Each structure stands twice: as structure tokens, then as C-alpha cells.
Structure 1
Amino acid sequence: MAIDDDGYLRPEGWPGSRGKVYLGDIAQAALRALGPHDPPRFAEQPGFDEQQWTLSSRANELQMRITSSPYWGFGLLPNCFLNRIELSGPLGIRARCVHDLVASVGRNPWEPSRLRQFEKVTGCEAARHRSAWKDLITRASEDMSEEIDQLEDSLRRLKGSDEAVSGILDAAGMAISEARAALADRNAPAVERALGRATSALIEADPDTEVRSSETNAQRASPRTNTINQDEVEAGHLLDEVPFVDLSDED
């Protein structure tokens, strides 16, 4: 990655960039988990060591600050750097960010290469690091599970109310099952997509939303509209009876 003249993080090869930085997989995953965000800006730019820096970014209510520094080997060992990630914002949003970070990395980011040195530099035992991460992951999972439960309650309420929407409700039930499976895989984006499909189906099936009644009214209005258009077309022959006067030869 590169740094531009204003200290913003840019892709490699950015025009006018004047420095390079090595983020590492954890920092890159953290920025991805932040979602659509402002361009990250460096509060402390890397010097000779491309892995020692501090940057920050914001995505709506969530503020992220990442500090990279060595904890062993004077910065000579690429696997002995730590990323201190500070999140500021509502607890639910912070939890979701951490959940997505861990899911995308594919390993436990709280497990260092050299445990003793890591605990000494951070001033915290590995068990406390693990607990802090796990607590946020659990909170995010519980929030998504609660959303799924709410949709299931809506599905049970609508079942058997109208045979005409049984197919729509079956689709909603399938989407809810897919959401639970995605949650078990820690695939939050897939959970959101499945919940979106389930929500759309339930809205369509719910008589209180008036979605189906609006469609029915529109269908009833269509024949009348066609009749009006037909009358307009059939009245076109009246134009042939309008007399035509040529005034081009008059003085």
C-alpha cells in the first residue's frame, strides 16, 4: 500500500504517492470489516520500518484507530508485530465489526507468535485478550440470532392465515433457515442477505402491509385503462372529417 502527500492510505501505484506501508492481514481485515469508510489517514507515518505506524478511519458512528508496532526482535521479524485496534461507537456496531474481522482472517487474531513477549508488551494476559475478542463475537452473534428469531415469530404468526400466500411463506422459511446456517459459519454478509429475502417475503405475505392489496387494485384498474385507450384509438377516424383549407395561394 502507498501513502499520498496528505497522509492518506492509497493503493499501490497511486499517482504522487511518496511512501509505502505494510499493513498485514489483521489491519487489512479490520478496515474491510469497518465497511464503507473514509480513506484511512496516518497520524504516525512509517519511516524506515514500514510496519510501524498509526492510522485511523471512520464509518458513520464507528471510529477505528490501528497502531502497529513490534513487540519482539526490534522490528526485524515480520511475525512479531502487534496491531492495537481501538474502536469507538455503539457496542452492537463494534461487536459486528470484530465478528466480521475474525471471520475474514480465518485464524484467531489474539494468538501471538511469541506469547510471553506479547503479554509483557501489552500488559495483559493472553486469556484476557481472548475473552475481550470472544465477548464481542458472542454479542454480534446474539444480535443476529435475535433478528432471526423475530422473523421466525412473524412467520409463525402468518402461517395458516391465507392459503394464497403459502408459497411466499415457504420462501421466507427457507431464507430464515439459510440465515441460521450462515450464522453458524460466521458469514455475516450471507446472514444479512438471507434476512433481507425473508423480510421481503414476510412483508409481501402480511395483509397489514397492504402490499398484495395494492397489487390487486392495480390489476383491477388495468382493464379500465385499456378500455379508455381503446376508445381513444377508435375515435381517431373523426380526424378524417375535419375540412382542410389550403391558404397558400391567397394574397
Structure 2
Amino acid sequence: MAAEDMGQTSILICQVRSAKAEHKMDETNFLLRTKHFPSASKVVYLGNVTSTLISLLENPETPMFTVPPSYNEQKWSLETTSGQMKIKITSDSYWGLGLFNSGYLNTIILEGPINLRSRIVYDLTSSLPYKPWEFKHLSSARKWIKRKYPNLDEKTNQNSWLELIDYSNQRFKEIIQVMKDATEKVSQKVKINQSTEYWDKEKAGVSLAAAEFDLELAKGALADNNAPAVERAIARIEASLIEADPETGVHENESLEDVNKERIIISEITIDSQENSEVDIDSINQIDSVPLNEDIPLIDLTFESEQE
């Protein structure tokens, strides 16, 4: 089943590898807090998967526990939202009476557009040092899944992860191909044009070479599943092509700030558009950009990974 056919919801079950007492639950509002929260609170063990996932969300609401931890501080349910995506996570023991970190699973339910669900799963799996769908205690995991989710099994769960990862991977490949085609198009323009008082062919060649170099970097970053590095390389390619293009190249009296105003928004051409998957190369250099501001997360979710 292709990722596009999975509707608006994904159910993913994953193995927890480590957990520390790095967080608390605000007993008044049932909100997730840091371990230094001063008011009435209860210790909670999030585990490495949930900590990583929440840290990857863009401007999430403070997670709220729908099932608070009791005597077992690693058994709970919480939910949060990040833009158009709603996230529900449940932590439960499936082996060893919950006495060991490797005896816990997380069930992640993602509700929202496929591009958002796919991207967070892509980033999560890239951040973890293991495949989250591979269980430490397979026989016990199979029994737990059959009891909790009769319509799921180990193979179906693995496919759900892989389909979401592949969706983002294919979208990044599309972006890189668009940039490759755009680079070739600008290269042809550079070849047939001569320097003017407003555009320097030699400088354009330097910018074009930079774009070609970053194109290879983007391919390498994608091979390493490094989405942020892919996006940074693509952004540099855009700027280089604007400078190299005879129609939009930097004039002697223009500043880099003027050029940056003409940079396109990467998400506009592929990632953020589920319905419009085809990209018109001619649209490059015609879309105004919007500065990206990253807010400081409200919750400190850093942790040290511990392996059993």
C-alpha cells in the first residue's frame, strides 16, 4: 500500500532503547515539563523515541498527558499538535514486566497531511541509531501487537514506516532533479550570452560551478538521509542560479540582500504541496521568499542515549 493511500492517519509501533528521568508531568495541568519544574509534579520516563520525536516537531504545543504515569513511570499516553499534524504517543511494556528499557514499545499515531507525517518519520528514523520497527524481543512484540492491534502485524508495521520514509525520499529526489534541470537551463543561457554592463559571464560561470558542486552535495546528503543538509544545499543552489542567470544575475550596484529577495521557497515546489507534485522549472526565480524563523523550543528534550 502506497503512502498516499494511507489516508490522514498513520499508526506506527516502535522499540524503545533507553529512558531516563529527564522530565516531569505537571500534576495540575498534566503537561510535560523538564525535570527542574518546581511545582507539584511527577517523574516521567519519556524514552529515547518520544524525546527525539518531540524535539523534531516545529513549534509544537506543550504535550499533555491523556493517561498520566502512575507507579510505572514509563507507562503513559500523551498528545500534542504541530501545525496541521496531531501526534499521540503511548508508552507500554511488552516484555520483562516493564523492568527493563528494552521491554517497552511506543505506539505513535500521526494525524495530518501525508507530507508532514512522512517528513517527521523521515527525520525521526534518521536521528535514531537503529531501525525503530525492529523489536528487541520479537516473539513478545508479536503477541503484544496481536492483542492491542488485531489488524496489524510485524510486517505491516514495518511497511508503514518504510512507505512514509520512501515518500519523503522520493520528494527530495524530485527537488534535486528540479534543481538539476534548472542548472542545465541556466548553463545554456550562460553559454549563449555575452557579458554586459549589468551581467558578468565569468562571474556567472563561478556561480554556476558553485551550483553544480552543491547539487552533488545534495545528492550525497540524501544518500545519508540528512534532510537538513539537503535543504541547505538546495537553498545555496537557488542563490547561485539567480546570480548566474543573465536575466536575474547580480548587477554591479546590487547587494546580496537584493538577490536573496528573489530566492524561491523550497517547500513551495514539492514538499509542502501534496496535490501539485509537478514543478514548472520556469517558475524558479519568480517566487518571493519568506524569512524562516526558528523559535526556541519550550521544552528541553535533550538526553543521553543509553543502550542496554
Q: TM-score normalised by the shorter chain: which range applies? A: 0.7 to 0.9
Separation in 2 of the partners of 1:201 and 1:23?
Answer: 43
> 4, 17, 32: which is aligned to 1:9?
32
Give a deviation string over 1:190-218, Cα, whole Å, max 9, x none: 1111111111222232344x4525x5478
Equivalence for 2:276: none
* Aligned-partner SS, 1:194: helix
**Structure 1, unaligned stretches of length 5 or more?**
219-251
Equivalence for 2:154: 126
Separation in 2 of the partners of 1:100 and 1:32?
Answer: 11
The answer (yes or no) to whether the contact 2:97–2:103 under 8 Å persists in 1 is no
C-alpha RMSD of matched pairs (Å): 1.7
The answer as to 2:36 corresponding to 1:36 is no
Q: How many residues align?
A: 216
> 204, 211, 216: which is aligned to 1:172?
211
> 178, 187, 200: which is aligned to 2:239?
200
Equivalence for 1:189: 228
The answer (yes or no) to whether the contact 1:151–1:198 under 8 Å persists in 2 is yes
Task: Name the structure where helix makes up a greater proportion of residues.
Answer: 1
Separation in 1 of the partners of 2:60 and 2:230?
Answer: 21
Equivalence for 2:196: none
Tell me the CA shift for residue 36 of structure 1: 2.9
Separation in 2 of the partners of 1:151 and 1:217?
Answer: 24
Separation in 2 of the partners of 1:129 and 1:114?
Answer: 15
Amino acid at match of 1:13: H
Equivalence for 2:291: none
The answer as to 2:250 corresponding to 1:212 is yes
Tell me the CA shift for residue 78 of structure 1: 2.3
Shifted more, 87-96 versus 33-42: the winner is 33-42
Shifted more, 176-185 versus 70-79: the winner is 70-79
Which is greater in Rg? 1
Query: Please, what TM-score do these two structures have when normalized by structure 2?
Result: 0.66
Tell me the CA shift for residue 134 of structure 1: 0.9
Give a deviation string over 1:1-24, Cα, whole Å, max 9, x none: 112231111111122151111011
Shifted more, 54-63 versus 32-41: the winner is 32-41
Separation in 2 of the partners of 1:217 and 1:143?
Answer: 34
Gap change, CA 1:34 and 1:217, over 3 Å in 2: closer
Tell me the CA shift for residue 102 of structure 1: 0.6
Separation in 2 of the partners of 1:120 and 1:41?
Answer: 29
The answer as to 2:184 corresponding to 1:136 is no
The answer (yes or no) to whether the contact 1:7–1:42 under 8 Å persists in 2 is yes
Tell me the CA shift for residue 98 of structure 1: 0.5
* Aligned-partner SS, 1:79: helix
Gap change, CA 1:77 and 1:203, over 3 Å in 2: same
Equivalence for 1:93: 116
Give a deviation string over 1:120-165, Cα, whole Å, max 9, x none: 2112332222111111111111111111110111000000423341
* Aligned-partner SS, 1:212: coil
* Aligned-partner SS, 2:73: coil
Gap change, CA 1:2 and 1:211, over 3 Å in 2: farther
**Structure 2, unaligned stretches of length 5 or more?**
1-22, 147-151, 191-200, 256-308
Tell me the CA shift for residue 71 of structure 1: 1.5
Give a deviation string over 1:201-249, Cα, whole Å, max 9, x none: 22232344x4525x5478xxxxxxxxxxxxxxxxxxxxxxxxxxxxxxx
Separation in 2 of the partners of 1:154 and 1:17?
Answer: 58
Residues 96-111 of structure 1: pairs in structure 2 closer than 5 A = 96-111=119-134
Gap change, CA 1:146 and 1:217, over 3 Å in 2: closer
Shifted more, 133-142 versus 2-11: the winner is 2-11
Separation in 1 of the partners of 2:56 and 2:145?
Answer: 23
Separation in 2 of the partners of 1:80 and 1:203?
Answer: 53
Separation in 1 of the partners of 2:64 and 2:220?
Answer: 37
Gap change, CA 1:23 and 1:154, over 3 Å in 2: same
